[in-house]
């Protein structure tokens, strides 16, 4: 039987590894009580936030919502939508923060015209898709920024803004909050300039290769975990308020953001 993998790569600062591991241990415990076989004993921490694909061996992971509609079409089954207790989050949704240095002269999104902008990945919802929609009405069908730099990760984007190399960045609001929790010195010199439009929160998924009956049991275990008062400390460590049944249409609507930006003459964040 092929070895399966479990990972939580989206909010995975090294300082958060014990918190993510505790969450997986709790879920694995739920699954074992249900007779689920071939459960990964530990989380895989090496999986990148935006891998090339969702591999067949992925039993459990969390994946950015925008590439689910592009890179990963036909590769996954949705398991659950989280709700977080953090600024920028509402029931089943999150957003991105446009960050600038605290001493910068910029006060509103319009002020960033002609400046340099950092994003983690062109495939990212919070790094690219949401700010593209935010800046599309301001761009007038033309490039808005002097330069847009792909940095490879949200922490890298933040580092290049704090150093003064770049002027602003779009950062997932949860990433920002977890940095405030675990590395406050990293974001102390930054200021939130604006919030992007809201978006469905980053979902929990399994590979499309996971049989439908197993996926249903996995989903049931996840929802039981989220509803169990005894598990509340485990969820609270990751700021998880609840996990609900996912709405596929909500994630498909992220392509509407792409279309709306294109209709405004701004098909690429530029």
Query: Do 193 and 104 sit in the same domain of this protein?
Result: yes
Report, as an integer, the average pLDDT of 128-134: 98
Say if 110 falls within a structural domain.
yes
Say if 270 falls within a structural domain.
no
Say if 261 falls within a structural domain.
no
- Distance, in Å, from the CA atom of 248 to the CA atom of 29, rounded to the nearest integer, reads 27
Query: Do 106 and 187 sit in the same domain of this protein?
Result: yes
- Distance, in Å, from the CA atom of 6 to the CA atom of 9, rounded to the nearest integer, reads 10
Domains of the chain: total: 2
Whether residue 145 contacts residue 170, with contact meaning beta carbons closer than 8 Å, is answered with no
Say if 269 falls within a structural domain.
no
Query: Do 138 and 189 sit in the same domain of this protein?
Result: yes
Domain that holds residue 192: 95-197
Query: Do 133 and 69 sit in the same domain of this protein?
Result: no
Q: What is the 3-state secondary structure (H, E, C) of 211-250?
A: CHHHHHHHHHHHHHHHHCHHHHHHHHHCCEEEEECCCHHH
Say if 75 falls within a structural domain.
yes
Full strand arrangement of the beta sheet holding 5-6: 5-6, 58-62, 204-207, 76-84, 240-244
In DSSP notation, 164-221 reads TSSSEEEEEHHHHHHHHHH-HHHHTTEEEEEEPPPEEPPPEEEETTS-HHHHHHHHHH
Query: Do 160 and 141 sit in the same domain of this protein?
Result: yes
Say if 127 falls within a structural domain.
yes
Q: What is the pLDDT of residue 22?
A: 98
Say if 264 falls within a structural domain.
no
Query: Do 112 and 243 sit in the same domain of this protein?
Result: no
Q: pTM of the entire structure?
A: 0.95
Query: Do 170 and 235 sit in the same domain of this protein?
Result: no
Q: What is the pLDDT of residue 215?
A: 97
Say if 31 falls within a structural domain.
yes
| Confidence band, pLDDT 50/70/90 cuts, at residue 213 | very high
Q: Residue 111: give its domain's CATH number.
A: 3.40.190.10
Query: Do 208 and 82 sit in the same domain of this protein?
Result: yes
- Distance, in Å, from the CA atom of 238 to the CA atom of 178, rounded to the nearest integer, reads 9
Report, as an integer, the average pLDDT of 47-61: 93
| Confidence band, pLDDT 50/70/90 cuts, at residue 143 | very high
Q: What is the pLDDT of residue 49?
A: 87
Query: Do 169 and 246 sit in the same domain of this protein?
Result: no
The pLDDT tens digits of the residues spanning 217-241 come to: 999 999 999 999 999 999 999 999 9
pLDDT of 1 over the 60 cut: no
């Amino acid at each position: 039987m092929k070895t399966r993998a479990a990972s939580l790569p989206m909010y995975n600062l090294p300082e958060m590894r014990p918190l993510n591991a505790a969450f997986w241990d709790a879920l694995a415990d739920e699954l074992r009580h249900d007779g689920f076989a071939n459960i990964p004993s530990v989380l895989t921490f090496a999986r990148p936030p935006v891998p090339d694909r969702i591999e067949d061996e992925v039993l459990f992971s969390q994946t950015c919502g925008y590439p689910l509609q592009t890179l990963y079409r036909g590769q996954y089954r949705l398991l659950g939508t989280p709700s977080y207790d953090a600024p920028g989050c509402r029931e089943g949704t999150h957003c991105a923060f446009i960050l600038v240095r605290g001493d910068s002269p910029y006060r509103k999104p319009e002020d960033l015209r002609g400046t340099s902008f950092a994003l983690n990945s062109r495939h990212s919802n919070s790094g690219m898709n949401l700010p593209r929609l935010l800046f599309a009405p301001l761009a007038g069908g033309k490039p808005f920024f002097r330069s847009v730099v792909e940095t490879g990760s949200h922490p890298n984007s933040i580092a290049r803004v704090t150093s003064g190399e770049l002027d602003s960045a779009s950062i997932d609001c949860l990433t920002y909050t977890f940095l405030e929790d675990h590395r406050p010195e990293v974001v102390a010199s930054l200021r939130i300039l604006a919030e992007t439009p809201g978006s469905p929160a980053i979902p929990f998924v399994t590979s499309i290769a996971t049989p439908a009956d197993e996926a249903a049991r996995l989903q049931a275990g996840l929802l039981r975990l989220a509803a169990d008062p005894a598990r509340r400390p485990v969820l609270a460590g990751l700021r998880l308020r609840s996990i609900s049944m996912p709405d596929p249409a909500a994630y498909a609507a992220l392509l509407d953001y792409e279309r709306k930006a294109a209709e405004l003459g701004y098909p690429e964040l530029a």
